[in-house]
């Protein structure tokens, strides 16, 4: 008999990354998927596309006692009136609200999906508070799933959750990567015409370096833009694509935004849903992030045979094989610029890294084994 599984997230942007085709798999197995999320047009459109039950629930990313208590009350009332087998909370905020409500109503299976460690880039009282939230949420969970080996390692070191509850799925990730159909360079035409709206048309010999993610300081974008100043002084045959949504929290300084907006060799494209076409025209992928859970975008880029440059911080360190599928960089403008230039100077090495990256993804991160493991847990 199929189970009723409720996922709780705060914004619809993350649903395709955290769940995506997994929803189709669980539906095909006879399970019922409900997703609680802050209401938005995208949320309801995606629920129609993927055939899950949408549960509008206002969940702010920042902590607010009154609004969070309202969310807990509403979710608790829903769970009292609608028997659920498993509640899955994603991210610290979504999980806290989900698991308090699930614990209060006696839901037997309460899962905390630890997608990252927000406290890693904080200090002082805020760091203490965020670690406290991690520990409280973990106490109410029956199982904590860490998305990467390094997140699991830090969770144990920091004593965030009991060891017997804390697990990882295979080699990491929360949903796997569809490297066979979607993120397969053989299935995606390499067409630069998708960039016709840029500031200037790119010549065929211009190398494209791509970043995909939230446009915030945590992603190392301040340092990447400073690195770009170094690179573009010496090389006029390069172009930087910044793909992802802007956010008020941890937003970039205005001078960074102005520079990126005015620089002819940088294009800010915003959030793009069908991202594989953009990976196909990139030559190098970069993510100099200060913290990650397990960066799905790196796995996607590797599946598309792109050499990757990333930091060696939590999450990122698990996503490449150093000097085989990509390069680690320190989060300094000088080192970022040096690593990009190195791959530009050695195109054959970069191409070989991309091919090995795809092999790495196919060997370790195909979705079906992840979904089968989750089905057993749920």
What pLDDT does residue 297 have?
A: 96
What pLDDT does residue 251 have?
A: 85
Angstrom distance (rounded) from CA 251 to CA 231:
24
Compute the average pLDDT of residues 326-348: 98
Where does the pLDDT of residue 54 fall: very low under 50, low under 70, confident under 90, or very high at 90 and above?
Answer: very high
- Residue 360 located in a structural domain: yes
Residue 337: give the domain boundaries.
192-364
The tally of domains found in the chain comes to 2
- Residue 151 located in a structural domain: yes
What pLDDT does residue 127 have?
A: 93
What pLDDT does residue 319 have?
A: 96
Q: How far is CA 53 from CA 103, 198, 280, 308, in A?
A: 22, 38, 34, 37
Domain CATH number, residue 54: 3.40.50.2000
Could you tell me the sign of the dihedral formed by the alpha carbons of 160, 162, 165, 170, in that order? positive
Q: Are residues 211 and 355 in the same domain?
A: yes
The pLDDT of residue 334 is above 90: yes
pLDDT in tens, 197-224: 665 678 889 999 999 999 999 999 999 9
Compute the average pLDDT of residues 126-151: 94
- Residue 79 located in a structural domain: yes
What pLDDT does residue 158 have?
A: 94
What pLDDT does residue 102 have?
A: 98
What pLDDT does residue 59 have?
A: 92
Tokens encoding 249: 């929290």
pLDDT in tens, 299-309: 999 999 999 99
What pLDDT does residue 199 have?
A: 54
- Residue 177 located in a structural domain: no
Query: In angstroms, how far apart are the furthest CA atoms of the chain?
Result: 64
What pLDDT does residue 61 have?
A: 76
Domain boundary among 168, 200, 228: 168
pLDDT in tens, 114-123: 999 988 988 8
Where does the pLDDT of residue 191 fall: very low under 50, low under 70, confident under 90, or very high at 90 and above?
Answer: confident
How far is C-alpha 361 from the geometric centre of its chain's CA atoms?
16
Question: Any residues with CB less than 8 A from the CB of 231 and at least 6 apart, and which?
Answer: 238, 337, 340, 341
Compute the average pLDDT of residues 186-202: 74
Q: Are residues 160 and 213 in the same domain?
A: no
Q: Are residues 241 and 324 in the same domain?
A: yes
Mean pLDDT of the chain: 93
Q: Are residues 152 and 223 in the same domain?
A: no
What pLDDT does residue 190 have?
A: 79
Compute the average pLDDT of residues 233-259: 90
The pLDDT of residue 314 is above 90: yes
Q: Are residues 93 and 9 in the same domain?
A: yes
- Residue 175 located in a structural domain: no
- Residue 179 located in a structural domain: no
Q: Are residues 116 and 237 in the same domain?
A: no
Q: Are residues 289 and 347 in the same domain?
A: yes
Domain boundary among 168, 202, 227: 168
- Residue 148 located in a structural domain: yes
Where does the pLDDT of residue 358 fall: very low under 50, low under 70, confident under 90, or very high at 90 and above?
Answer: very high
333, 339, 345, 349 alpha-carbon torsion, rounded to 10°: -160
Q: Are residues 135 and 199 in the same domain?
A: no
Where does the pLDDT of residue 196 fall: very low under 50, low under 70, confident under 90, or very high at 90 and above?
Answer: low
Q: Are residues 357 and 208 in the same domain?
A: yes
Q: Are residues 150 and 207 in the same domain?
A: no
Q: Are residues 306 and 214 in the same domain?
A: yes
What pLDDT does residue 274 have?
A: 86
- Residue 311 located in a structural domain: yes
């Amino acid at each position: 008999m199929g189970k009723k599984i409720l996922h709780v997230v705060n914004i619809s942007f993350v649903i395709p990354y955290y769940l995506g085709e997994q929803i189709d798999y669980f539906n095909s197995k006879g399970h019922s998927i409900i997703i609680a999320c802050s209401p938005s047009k995208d949320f309801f459109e995606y629920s129609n596309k993927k055939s899950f039950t949408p549960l509008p629930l206002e969940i702010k990313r920042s902590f607010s006692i009154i609004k969070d208590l309202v969310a807990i009350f509403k979710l608790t009332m829903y769970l009292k009136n609608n028997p659920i087998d498993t509640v899955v909370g994603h991210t610290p905020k979504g999980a806290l609200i989900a698991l308090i409500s699930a614990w209060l109503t006696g839901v037997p299976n309460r899962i905390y999906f630890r997608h990252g460690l927000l406290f890693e880039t904080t200090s002082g009282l805020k760091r203490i508070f965020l670690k406290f939230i991690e520990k409280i949420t973990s106490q109410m969970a029956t199982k904590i799933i860490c998305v990467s080996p390094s997140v699991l390692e830090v969770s144990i070191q920091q004593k965030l959750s009991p060891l017997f509850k804390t697990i990882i799925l295979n080699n990491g990730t929360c949903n796997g990567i569809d490297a066979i159909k979607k993120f397969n360079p053989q299935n995606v035409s390499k067409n630069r015409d998708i960039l016709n709206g840029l500031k200037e048309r790119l010549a065929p010999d211009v190398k494209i370096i791509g970043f995909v993610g939230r446009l915030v300081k945590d992603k190392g974008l301040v340092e990447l833009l400073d690195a770009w100043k170094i690179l573009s002084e010496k090389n006029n045959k390069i172009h930087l694509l910044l793909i992802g949504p802007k956010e008020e929290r941890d937003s970039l300084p205005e001078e960074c935004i102005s520079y990126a907006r005015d620089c002819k060799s940088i294009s800010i494209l915003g959030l793009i849903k069908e991202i594989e076409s953009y990976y196909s025209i990139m030559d190098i992928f970069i993510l100099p992030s200060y913290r990650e859970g397990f960066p799905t975008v790196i796995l996607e880029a590797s599946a598309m045979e792109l050499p990757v440059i990333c930091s060696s911080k939590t999450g990122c360190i698990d996503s490449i094989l150093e000097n085989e599928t990509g390069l680690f960089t320190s989060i300094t403008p000088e080192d970022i610029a040096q690593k990009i230039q190195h791959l530009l100077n050695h195109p054959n090495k970069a191409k070989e890294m991309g091919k090995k990256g795809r092999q790495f993804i196919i060997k370790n991160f195909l979705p079906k084994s992840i979904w089968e493991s989750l089905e057993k847990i749920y």
